[in-house]
Chains A and B, each alone.
Chain A
Amino acid sequence: MNTKKSSAPKRALTFLSNSAVPLMFIIIIAICIPISGFSPTFLLNEVMTRLSRNAFLILSLLIPIMAGMGLNFGMTLGAMAAEIALIFVTDWQIWGIPGIVLAMILSIPLSVILGILCGKILNAAQGREMITSYIISFFMNGVYQLIVLYMMGSLIPILHGNIELPRGYGVRSSVDLTNIRKTLDNLLAINIAGVRIPVATLLIIALMCLIIVWFRRTKLGQDMRAVGQDMEVARDAGINVERTRLISIVISTVLAGIGMVIYLQNMGDMATYSSHSQIGMFCIAALLVGGASVDRASIGNVFLGVILFHTLFILAPSAGAKITGNEVVGEYFRVFVSYGVITVALVMYETRKRRAKARAAQQLRQEQEVEK
């Protein structure tokens, strides 16, 4: 009886500690909803749009976490591959669903190459994967700009003037994706109580979830989990740790590429030089808001994260404007929340890791004292 009494508050404390970020968001959202004055239909429509737009991208982060590589800031590389693919598809005038499928296929080889490069570097920087992948994404952004700004139109043929800069080479700062805009979202779309449900997009996301669940049970998936738990033990068990880690990054980059095509077809317009730059940050922030951590994330975290993070994104400008009289405050708040959540999650992860280390050391000391 006594044990039960003491374990219940402990369990509640652990739950609160693990769910601090989602709970905080739920409270902020609960306060912001009445202040914003948005109707439930509007809010649900917006959340549904953002869920279908972002969920696939965030799912791409799960596999590297499973392999113990933390939050893959290198997903930006997949986003760049998708953007290059979309530039070609737009230039070749491939419209509608075929255009989306072609862009996804074209992004795959580019994502694989970039993923292998990223994975090899991350293997060389074991224990510092997140900061390394962050810096790789900056480096690759430079390479992307070199290709798009100088090589396209000069070395790589660009056929249409509405994509090419008037100087004769380089791609314009904005590429119009009208011909593929929302074609996937509108496929099989239905309306329920005024809320538009993009069925085809949600089916693709559901299929991806099933693939991830299946993948966890495969030999490779089990190897990744083993590597994620303890690299040395996995190596002793005969698992090729470096190869397994590299594959996880390649899969993540490829999925990020496909996710970016889904994202941009929803937007209908591509900011050539900046669409990819913040995508990693927002996806990671959304995943963390869903209750994930650097070493543990689930499909449930993805959906909870997208809903909470983007609901706040929708509410913040309006609520900010009503509270302070200035909409810009709400915009700043959104950015502040994104970076803040990542910082808090990283600090919490590091604190937990140190505590666990200290606890293990203390336990070892006690065992040694008992032996004496």
Chain B
Amino acid sequence: MKTRRILFCACAILVLIAIACAMLVIGRGHTMYFDNKDLEYDGQTYAASHRINVYVNDERVARLSEGDRGLATFTGQSFSFDLVVTRVDDGEEENFSYTLKVPYAEDGIIVNLPGLIEDLPEDAWMSEFVPVPSVEEEEDEEIVIDEFDMAMEDDMGA
């Protein structure tokens, strides 16, 4: 009876761990930033397009003119999107579809669309987005830790 109970508990714990691991993978959120900007690579310049529309699941998430940046959020380790590119004013529209694998550890990924469209190596058009904290964020905040409103001013250095 005791062995059966231990086995049941062990199985339950293993199932919970398995679900938790699955959630860690499928629920990992990322933000992808789409840049329609000129790209310098190997001494060559790849010019930004006149207009790029980014679609995710047939829904437009960004409409980028030259020099613009758009973004889309998603969960999981790969991201599929479609591009409708107009390279020059009054030019013809070209359609592209991509599925990109995303590094697990990176919250934000910048994709340079002109580089992606030109089929350049990944390191040319993909980079990590590193947010820069603003001056306001650098200032410490006051923490109120109980209902008597006693702020820990000394500890927080306020």
Q: Using CB atoms and an 8 Å cutoff, list the residues of chain A in contact with chain B.
A: 92-99, 101-102, 105-106, 108, 141, 145, 149, 160-161, 165-167, 170, 172-173, 179, 273-274, 277
Contacts and interface: CB of A to CB of B under 8 A. Distances in A.
B27 A95 contact: yes
A116 to B, nearest CB: 14
B135 to A, nearest CB: 11
Interface of B: 16, 19-20, 22-24, 26-30, 73, 75, 107, 131, 133, 137-147, 152, 155-157
Interface SS majority for chain B: mixed
B144 to A, nearest CB: 7
9 contacts: A92-B24, A92-B28, A98-B23, A99-B27, A101-B20, A102-B27, A167-B140, A273-B144, A274-B144
A113 to B, nearest CB: 14
Given A105-B16, A105-B19, A161-B133, A94 B27 contact: yes
A94 B145 contact: no
Given A93-B107, A94-B28, A145 B23 contact: no
Contact of B24 (A97, A102, A179): A102
A105 B29 contact: no
Nearest to B17: A105
A141 B137 CA distance: 27
A153 B127 CA distance: 27
Given A98-B75, A166-B139, A167-B156, A273 B24 contact: no
Contacts of A93: 28-30, 107
Contacts of A273: 143-146
Contacts of B73: 95
Nearest to B155: A149
A244 to B, nearest CB: 15
A147 to B, nearest CB: 13
Contact of A105 (B23, B75, B147): B23
A297 B79 CA distance: 50
B75 A165 contact: no
B8 to A, nearest CB: 14
Contact of A277 (B29, B140, B147): B147
Contacts of B23: 94, 98-99, 101-102, 105
Q: What are the 9 closest A-B residue pairs judged by CB atoms, nearest first?
A: A98-B27, A95-B29, A98-B23, A94-B27, A102-B23, A105-B20, A93-B29, A273-B145, A173-B143
A140 to B, nearest CB: 13
A166 B16 contact: no
A166 B140 contact: yes
